[in-house]
Amino acid sequence: MGEVRIEPVAWEDPRAVELRHLMDLDMRERYGVGPGREPAELTAKRARALAVSRSQIRAVFLALLPDGTPIGHIALRMLGDEWEVKRLLVTPAARRTGIAQALLAEVERVAREGGAARLILQAGEKQPEAVALYRKLGWSPIPVYEPYIETMPHSLCFEKTLAG
């Protein structure tokens, strides 16, 4: 796979937008949700719950191959006064290579430098590879938190305490 670099980018970076779009497609397929698969009102509520405002973003990173091909993405946002990991994804061909772990380490560093005592994140039962990774890396289960309670009450949520 070659040397992979982790690079900070803007939320609007077209490569980041494309990876998030691929993640949306994957999640719709895994969970069988989205337009035409459920009541439109529920789809709209879930979209609002999952929406990320640019003003909330504290960092976005891409994992890039030497030729610049993006193979991973992660974002860090402020959700109220909590630091939340958003949109961690690694392209299928690059999975099981340590990319996700490297991306998580980078947002942990940024959050720690920003004064965060912990990070939180939301996943689901149909993302077993992600859940296994979080547990392996010391993330602990927590109750489902807002904004996911109403539209995704069966979410699997986690926290990680950050060492000083």
Give the model's pLDDT for residue 136: 96
pLDDT in tens, the chain (164 residues): 569 999 999 999 999 999 999 998 888 888 877 677 778 888 888 888 888 999 999 999 999 999 999 999 999 999 999 999 999 999 999 999 999 999 999 999 999 999 999 999 999 999 999 999 999 999 999 999 999 998 889 999 999 999 76
Give the model's pLDDT for residue 43: 80
Give the model's pLDDT for residue 37: 78
Residue 90 belongs to a domain: yes
Enumerate the H helices of 32-161 as residue ranges: 40-50, 99-113, 128-136
Residue 26 belongs to a domain: yes
d(C-alpha 140, C-alpha 118), whole Å? 11
pTM exceeding 0.85 = yes
Q: Which domain holds residue 64?
A: 5-116
Residue 129 belongs to a domain: no
The token pair at 10 is 């803007």
- Cβ atoms within 10 A of the Cβ of 118, count? 13
Residue 18 belongs to a domain: yes
Structurally, the chain folds into a number of domains equal to: 1
Residue 9 belongs to a domain: yes
Helix, strand or coil, per DSSP, at residue 140: strand
Give the model's pLDDT for residue 45: 85
The token pair at 104 is 């998580």
Residue 139 belongs to a domain: no
d(C-alpha 2, C-alpha 11), whole Å? 26
d(C-alpha 136, C-alpha 129), whole Å? 11
d(C-alpha 114, C-alpha 104), whole Å? 15
Give the domain CATH number at 16.
Answer: 3.40.630.30
Residue 128 belongs to a domain: no
Residue 47 belongs to a domain: yes
